[in-house]
Chains A and B, each alone.
Chain A
C-alpha cells in the first residue's frame, strides 16, 4: 500500500542490504518522485531489496536506463526506485550456439557491440536510444526488423526474475528449443515491470547478413500505400522490413529492406524496385530516422509529444493511414512503422489541444480495432494522459488481474502503470 514517507525501519531495511540514496526530482517516474533510490548490482542484491520492501509494504518501480519511465500511466505510488543500471554485465556469449545471456541493466547497444564482434546480432532494433535490455523487454519495443526476426517474444529463450516477495526464479534456459514448464518469459514481455523484476535474459542470435539494401518509393495516398505494401508482402523478395513513413498532411514513403548474401540482395532489390514503380530508389544506407520512433527524442525539459502504438491487420494499413490524414486537419499526426507486420507508431505534437488529441486517439483506436488491432497511448503530456484511456479496451482483463494477484498480491510493483489500473 502506498506510503507517503518511509518509516525509519523501512528505510533501514533497504539500506542494510543495498546502496541507497535519496531520490531527486530527476528520478521522477512520470512526475511521481520516489523516496529512495536503491542500486543493487547483482540478482541477489535485487532479491534482498525486494524482500526488504516486502517486509515493509513498500512500493517499488524498477528502472533500466530510464528511457521509458513516462510510458503508461504514472504509478500511484513509488516508495523505492529500483535502479538496475548496476546489473550491466554480459553473462555469456556462446557464439557457436548463437545465444547470448546478459543482465537486464546492460544497454542494448553494448550487447550488440559484444555479439557483433562474432558477426552476430540480437535482431531487435534500438528504437529508443540508450535503452536497456530489460527495459526493451518489459516494454516490448520493436522496430523495422520485427518483420524478419520477430520481437523480444521470438528472441527470448531464458529469463531470471525476482518476484515481489524477493524469490528468485528462472524459466526457459540456454537452448532455443525448450518446452519444459510454462513460458514465464513471454508473460514478462510487455508487462511494464508489474509482474516481477527481470534481472537476466538469454536470447537467440542471428548472423549479421553480408549485404543489405534499402529501396524507397513515394506513395500517392493511403490506398496506394496499401497496394504497394501488399505487393511486397506477398512477393518472393523476403523483405527484412517494409516500413511506411507517413508525415502529417501530405506525402508518404514506403521503404523495403532486403538483407542477405551480396548477389542475392542485388537480385531481390531489383525485384522490389520493379514492384515499387518508376520512382523507386535504392541505397546501401538506411534512410534518415530509419529505426527511430516518429516522436524522436524530445529536448531535456521539453513537453513530451503524444506517442501512440497502433496495431492492425495487414489489410487495415490503408484505413489507418487514411484516418490519420483525416485527423491531420485538426491535429497533425506523423505515422511510421511496419506495414509488413501491422505495427506502427504515431506522434502528435505536445502543443496540440487536449480535446483534439483525445478525439484523435479515439478515432485511431476505433480504426485499429475494426481491423483486428489496438491503439495504445504509450506516452503523452500529463493533461492528455488524464483525459484519455491510454491502454484502451483489453480482452481477458479479469484473467490478467488474477495473474497479477498471484505474482504481486499486494500490488507493490509499479502500481497503476499498466492496463486496468494494474
Chain B
C-alpha cells in the first residue's frame, strides 16, 4: 500500500482510497486487516489468488460511486466482486488495488408484473429474483448452475447463460437497463425500461465486459412468464455418440427444447456420489431434456422427443412426475462441477463452445487426448448449443499432474477454436483464458474491442489485466502497429 510521502503529506494510492472509504462507509464496510483480506483473494477459480490491498462493501450507489471516484482520482485499480463464484478469475483482486464487493447491495427494488420487469440491486442472488417473481406467475430466465448463490451483477458482468439459454437466451437478452458507475466514478443510466433506447447500445457492450467497463448499481431485468407446462425427462444412452446424435435429431426435427444437457459416465459418477440423483445405472451418457410452453405444444413435442431418443438407442427414459422429482434430476446436473471434488482432489473446468454438429468429433478427440495423456476428463455440457464443460481431473500432490492437466485443458480449447467455436461460452475470459484470446481473435480484433475499453476507462483502472493479454495504450492512434508494441519493448508484455 502506497502510503504517505512524508510527514504531514496527503496519502496517495490505496491509502487515500482507504481514507475516503472510511469517511463514506460504515466501519464494517471497510476491511484492512490481513487475515480478513485474504478471505477475498479468489473467486470460484482457486488456481489464482491475490490478496487485495483493501476491500470495501458499499451499501448503496452513492458510496460505491464515491469509492470509484477516489480510485480514479488516485489512479488506483479496482476489481468488482459479487458472490465470488466466477470460474474465470474475473473477481481476482489486484494486489495494489481495491476489491469492491456488492454483496450488501441486495435489495429487490420492485417487481412489476404488468411491464414484465423487475429492478434489483447488483448483489441480489439470481434465484431470489425468480423467487420474488414466482408469486406473480413469472420468473427470471437465465439460470446458471450457481444460481442459488451467484449475483445479478456478476451475471451482468459475465453475460451468464445456464442450461435454459438454448431457448431463452443469455443475460444480455434479459437486462433492459442498468445504472452504471463508470471508471470515472460517475453514475450513468444505460438502456431503459422499454427496449431500443436511442443511441449506441452501450448496455450491450457492458454486459459481458467482465467488470472492465464499470460497475452496475441497479439492474432492470425482463421477467418471463412461467410456462403452463414443463416436462423434464432424463434419458440414458450407452454412449455420448448416441446421445449426441439424438440431440441433433431433436433440433433437426424443429423442436426447440428449453434445455438439453449431457453428462458422461464419469460426471454421472460424481453427481451420484454427491446428491444421489439416481441416474440410470450403467449409462455411458445421459441427456436431461426439458420442454416447456403451452400444454398442448409440450405434449406434442414430448412425444416426438421420446420417439427420437428411442430411435437413437435410449435404453431408459424417466419423465419427472412432480416438481420435487424434476428438482432432483436437475440437482445432479447442477452440482456436477462441485461434485467432481468427490472423485478427484483437483480439477480444471473448461468452457469451450463448438458448433453442435461437431459434437461427436470433438468428444472423440477429447477421449483420445485423455487416453494418450492419462488425464481423466469428465464431460458435462449444454448439448443443445455445443457449450462443453470438460472437467479435467488431477491430483496436485502428484508431481507434474497439474501441468499435464493444463496441457490437456489447453488442447481442448484449441480443438474448440479449430472447429470454429469459442474459448468461452459462459464463464468469461477473466485471467484464466486471456492467453487464449489471440488464438481466437487477431490483433486487429482485440485492438478494436479495446477501443471500447479506452472510451470507458482511459486510465485503465477498471479490473485491469482481465480479458486482454496485452493492454492497449489509450489515446494512441488506432491503426496497424509496425514493429513491436510499446509494452513489448518495455518488457511488460508478450504476444503469444
Contacts and interface: CB of A to CB of B under 8 A. Distances in A.
A315 B293 CA distance: 24
B429 to A, nearest CB: 6
A60 interface: no
Contacts of A396: 188-190, 199, 202
Contacts of A409: 478
A177 B193 contact: no
A420 B173 CA distance: 26
Given A170-B441, A261-B301, A180 B433 contact: yes
Interface in B211-227: 225, 227
A234 B296 contact: no
B228 interface: yes
A168 interface: yes
A399 interface: yes
Interface string A86-101: 0000000010111100
A181 B161 CA distance: 15
B132 to A, nearest CB: 17
A239 B295 CA distance: 14
Contacts of B478: 163, 165, 167, 406, 409
Contact of A237 (B158, B198, B294, B382): B294
A315 B115 contact: yes
A315 B165 CA distance: 27
A163 to B, nearest CB: 6
Interface in A331-369: 341-343, 368
Given A169-B447, A177-B425, A402 B205 contact: no
Nearest to B304: A261
A264 B294 contact: yes
A263 B452 contact: no
Contacts of B442: 169-170
Given A176-B385, A374-B198, A182 B424 contact: no
B480 A167 contact: yes
Interface string A175-208: 1111111111111011100011000000000111
A154 interface: yes
Interface stretch (A32-40, A128-136, A215-223, A306-314): A306-314
Given A96-B248, A184-B452, A186-B172, A171 B200 contact: no
B50 to A, nearest CB: 23
Interface in A401-422: 402-407, 409, 418-420
B437 A267 contact: no
B308 interface: no
A268 B385 contact: no
B199 A397 contact: yes
Interface string B339-375: 0000000000000011111000000000000000000
Given A182-B208, A238-B293, A399-B188, A372 B194 contact: yes
A2 to B, nearest CB: 22
B195 A343 contact: yes
A313 B421 contact: no
B297 A261 contact: yes
Nearest to B176: A372
Contacts of B451: 403, 406-407
Contacts, number: 276
B470 interface: no
A7 interface: no
Contact of A151 (B159, B196, B353): B196
B19 interface: no
B334 interface: no
A236 to B, nearest CB: 4
Contacts of B422: 173, 175, 177-180
A385 interface: no
B128 to A, nearest CB: 22
B200 A403 contact: yes
Most buried by A among B172, B195, B357, B479: B195
A289 interface: no
A260 B297 contact: yes
A180 B423 contact: yes
Interface stretch (B250-258, B312-320, B401-409): B250-258
B225 A311 contact: no
Contacts of B254: 119, 207-210
A153 B56 CA distance: 35
Contacts of B227: 236
Interface stretch (A9-17, A106-114, A248-256, A387-395): A387-395
A151 B442 CA distance: 28
Nearest to A341: B195
Contact of B228 (A185, A236, A407): A236
Contacts of A150: 169, 173
B455 interface: yes
A407 B114 CA distance: 39
Contacts of B437: 180-181
Contacts of A234: 113, 137, 225
Contacts of A171: 441, 445, 448-449
Contacts of B440: 173, 180
Contacts of B256: 206-207
A376 interface: yes
A190 B190 CA distance: 15
A268 B205 CA distance: 38
Nearest to A406: B451
Most buried by A among B207, B301, B445: B445
Contacts of A420: 199
Contact of B479 (A165, A309, A404, A405): A165
A73 interface: no
Contacts of B296: 263-264, 266-268
Contacts of A97: 355-357, 386
B474 to A, nearest CB: 8
Contacts of A268: 294, 296-297
Most buried by B among A165, A167, A175, A402: A175
Most buried by B among A184, A341, A376, A419: A184
B462 interface: no
A309 B195 CA distance: 11
B202 A154 contact: no
A219 to B, nearest CB: 18
Contacts of A313: 112, 115, 117, 193-194
A371 interface: yes
A1 interface: no
B387 interface: yes
Contacts of B282: none
A233 interface: yes
Interface in A135-157: 140, 142, 150-151, 153-154
B203 to A, nearest CB: 8
A374 B192 CA distance: 9
Contacts of B204: 153, 183, 185-187, 189
Given A140-B196, A316-B194, A419-B198, 12 more contacts: A150-B173, A169-B442, A180-B423, A180-B433, A181-B429, A183-B208, A187-B202, A187-B204, A268-B296, A311-B195, A372-B115, A396-B189
19 contacts: A150-B169, A153-B173, A178-B425, A181-B437, A184-B452, A190-B198, A191-B201, A234-B137, A260-B294, A313-B115, A314-B116, A315-B114, A342-B195, A395-B188, A399-B188, A402-B456, A403-B200, A406-B451, A406-B455
The 5 nearest A-B residue pairs measured at CB: A186-B204, A372-B193, A373-B194, A264-B297, A169-B448
